[in-house]
């Protein structure tokens, strides 16, 4: 009787330890029975979109159970997509070969003074030397990981963390041009109460290869996602202001400043019934814009025409293509989803 009781207690302890060690996130290939799948659909508004996406395409839920996913980035060297879970201060990796894996912990707040910020990494890109560059909410900077992509370490160098001696709020999203300039947005989403810090503005900045920081815009209320047109003559910025949710476009002048700003697309009517606000965006090889916004991901032409919507039924933070633009990966609240493109 005594031995049987000891065996039972050991079994209970092992089950408890196993549950405690399970990560919150998990990979999912059981999409056929997931009721959420019924919400996923494609709506075509212009026949031009048929050349980009099949309206009857099947969605795939690749991984689930995150806190708030952001910043997807396809990495050829890894044959995988990396993405941030901001509150978890973690970057994950998903691949066909290995499914979901933890890629990098302590990825967005690294110092002792930032350990309780609860704000981790956000936007991710690769520089021209195939190194990971990221927006770090907690550390309030643009940083580069000083480790090989195949052997990630929480070792970073600062590319930019201040403007005129004042700390950024919480750099959110970024894009690099062919000359190595990094354009990024700096709303206060990574700060307590979403309040602007000592810098006093919600800015859009450019940092050159010489690490000089230039203020491009201080007039936007909540600048968020950012992308460059294929010819790098136009800068697109999503504004996640509930009262003015719009996609802006700006001409890039010869000296790097911005000119001729205009509202390219207004999401206000869509926000009445769709979850989420304008957030991340990417440029398709066709030149069309894939902009996250109320209800999912919206395909918008460079002229501002609404071509189609990829409806997710959830607030969708960002999206990314693989190298051949065969798939679109979407970070949707607690999920990583993908859809096949033409």
Is the predicted pLDDT of residue 32 greater than 60, yes or no?
A: no
Strand-pair partners of 245: 240
- Residue 336: φ, ψ to 5°: -115, 120
pTM of the model: 0.89
Per-residue pLDDT of 257-269, as tens digits, reads 999 999 999 999 9
Lookup: tokens for 269: 């009517």
- What are the distances in angstroms from CA 262 to CA 247, 258, 278, 305? 9, 11, 16, 14
The three-point CA angle 178-327-129 to 5° equals 30
Lookup: tokens for 208: 């050159």
Q: So where are the chain's domains?
A: 2-340
CATH code of the domain occupying 2-340: 2.120.10.30
Q: In the block, which residue shows the tokens 């480790």?
A: 147
What per-residue string of b and e applies to 313-342 under the rule 16 or more CB within 10 Å gives b?
Answer: bbbbbbbbbbeebebbbbbbbbbbbbbebe
Helices and strands of the chain, counted as H and E runs: 2, 28
How does the average pLDDT of the chain come out, rounded? Answer: 90
Per-residue pLDDT of 202-219, as tens digits, reads 999 999 988 899 999 999
């Amino acid at each position: 009787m005594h031995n049987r009781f000891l065996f039972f207690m050991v079994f209970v302890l092992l089950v408890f330890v196993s549950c405690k060690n399970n990560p919150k996130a998990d990979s999912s290939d059981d999409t056929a029975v997931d009721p959420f799948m019924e919400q996923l659909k494609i709506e075509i508004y212009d026949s031009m979109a048929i050349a980009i996406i099949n309206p009857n395409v099947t969605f795939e839920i690749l991984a689930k159970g995150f806190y708030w996913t952001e910043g997807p980035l396809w990495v050829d060297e890894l044959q995988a997509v990396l993405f941030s879970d901001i509150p978890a201060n973690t970057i994950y990796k998903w691949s066909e070969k290995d499914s979901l894996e933890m890629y990098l912990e302590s990825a967005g707040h690294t110092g002792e003074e930032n350990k309780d910020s609860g704000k981790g990494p956000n936007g991710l890109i690769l520089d021209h030397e195939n190194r990971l560059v990221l927006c770090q909410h907690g550390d309030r900077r643009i940083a580069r990981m000083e480790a090989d992509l195949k052997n990630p370490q929480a070792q970073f160098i600062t590319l930019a963390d201040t403007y005129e001696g004042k700390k950024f709020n919480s750099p959110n999203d970024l894009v690099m041009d062919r000359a190595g300039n990094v354009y990024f947005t700096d709303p206060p989403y990574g700060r307590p109460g979403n309040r602007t810090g000592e810098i006093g503005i919600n800015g859009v900045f450019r940092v050159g290869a010489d690490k000089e920081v230039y203020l491009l815009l201080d007039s936007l209320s909540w600048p968020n996602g950012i992308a460059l047109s294929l010819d790098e003559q136009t800068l697109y910025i999503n504004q996640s202001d509930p009262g003015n949710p719009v996609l802006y476009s700006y001409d890039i002048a010869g000296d790097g400043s911005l000119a001729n700003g205009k509202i390219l697309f207004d999401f206000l009517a869509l926000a009445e019934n769709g979850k989420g606000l304008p957030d991340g965006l990417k440029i398709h090889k066709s030149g069309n814009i894939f902009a996250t916004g109320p209800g999912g991901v919206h395909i918008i032409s460079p002229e501002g025409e609404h071509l189609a919507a990829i409806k997710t039924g959830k607030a969708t933070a960002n999206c990314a293509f693989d190298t051949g633009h065969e798939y679109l990966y979407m970070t949707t609240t607690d999920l990583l989803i993908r859809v096949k493109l033409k």
